Amino acid sequence: MNGILLVSHSKKITDGLKEMIEEMIGINSKVNVYSLGGMEDGRLGTSAIKILDRIQKCKDFENIFIFCDIGSAILSAEVAIDMSERGLLDKIELVDAPLIEGSFSVAVQASVMDSKDEILKDILAY
Amino acid sequence: MNGILLVSHSKKITDGLKEMIEEMIGINSKVNVYSLGGMEDGRLGTSAIKILDRIQKCKDFENIFIFCDIGSAILSAEVAIDMSERGLLDKIELVDAPLIEGSFSVAVQASVMDSKDEILKDILAY
């Protein structure tokens, strides 16, 4: 299983993006998408704690791909990764790609491919 | 006045993005942001008619910047531009940049700069 973690200041953005991705890949045994936008209380902002909590819940997955939009979304993801169990670091990838375009592409790849390198090949070349 | 037109398959995405941009630039006399995600009835999809309608309503603006995420969002924007009044084509820019990251950056630039070239300088270099 691959986890696709979507991080933005806006919960609406990551909720909408999760819907868009799930409409494209359908019910999928290889990919779970998580909307982690906004603060705990739903206001605009990002929460390292929310990201860390989701990383821990995905700890038995093969890969955990994290996508962020701008500024402190990236910072919060980096903090969450720093606070993660050391043993998880090999499976976590903070992907250097635009949030919508990148996560969409990687989710499609992850629904049909297995290795992390294969899944990321196109997106990192772009 | 500059128009920032946000196009995605998801209305949630463009609604959330409009909120994020407006929180950053505040009440602004130089920039109006429009959420054009989703079909007319709110379902996932894009509508060239909705984009065309907004272009026409922005016809007295100095610049009309259009941002899209993926696939047929770009196609719908291109169709809308093709159907626009010929006299508007010089002020319309379909920006080749990621939807969230691109529109955010251009909206901030447009809130403090005047010429289209200046506004787009950083985003197109990136």
DSSP labels for A28-71?
Answer: -SSEEEEE--S-TTSSSS--HHHHHHHHHHTTTSSEEEEEE-ST
Percent of chain A with pLDDT over 90: 87
Catalytic center residues of B: 9
Q: Which residue has the higher pLDDT, B37 or A126?
A: B37
What dihedral do alpha carbons A119, A121, A126, B5 form, nearest 10°?
0
Mean pLDDT, range B95-121, rounded to an integer: 94
Query: Quick one: pLDDT at residue A30?
Result: 93
- Pick from A9, A15, A69: which is nearest to B101 by CB? A69
B58-70: per-residue pLDDT in tens? 999 999 999 999 9
Asked if the model's pLDDT at residue A125 lies above 90, the reply is no
Local confidence band at A126 (pLDDT 50, 70, 90 cut-offs): low
A97-109: per-residue pLDDT in tens? 999 999 999 999 9
Q: How many Cβ pairs closer than 8 A exist between chain A and B? A: 71
Tokens for B90, please give them.
Answer: 């010089």
Percent of chain B with pLDDT over 90: 87
- Pick from A20, A44, A98: which is nearest to B100 by CB? A98
User: What is the three-class DSSP state of A1?
Assistant: coil
Restricting to B residues 11-70, those with a Cβ less than 8 Å away from any Cβ of A are: 11-13, 15-17, 19-20, 23, 37, 44, 69-70
A45-60: per-residue pLDDT in tens? 999 999 999 999 999 9
Query: Quick one: pLDDT at residue A97?
Result: 95
Interface test with B, best of A7, A18, A20 (most B CBs within 10 A): A20
> Do A21 and A33 form a contact (C-beta atoms < 8 A)?
yes
Cα separation, B62 vs B91, in Å, equals 6
Q: What Rg value do the Cα atoms of chain A yield, rounded?
A: 13
Å from A87 to nearest chain B CA? 32
Local confidence band at B123 (pLDDT 50, 70, 90 cut-offs): confident
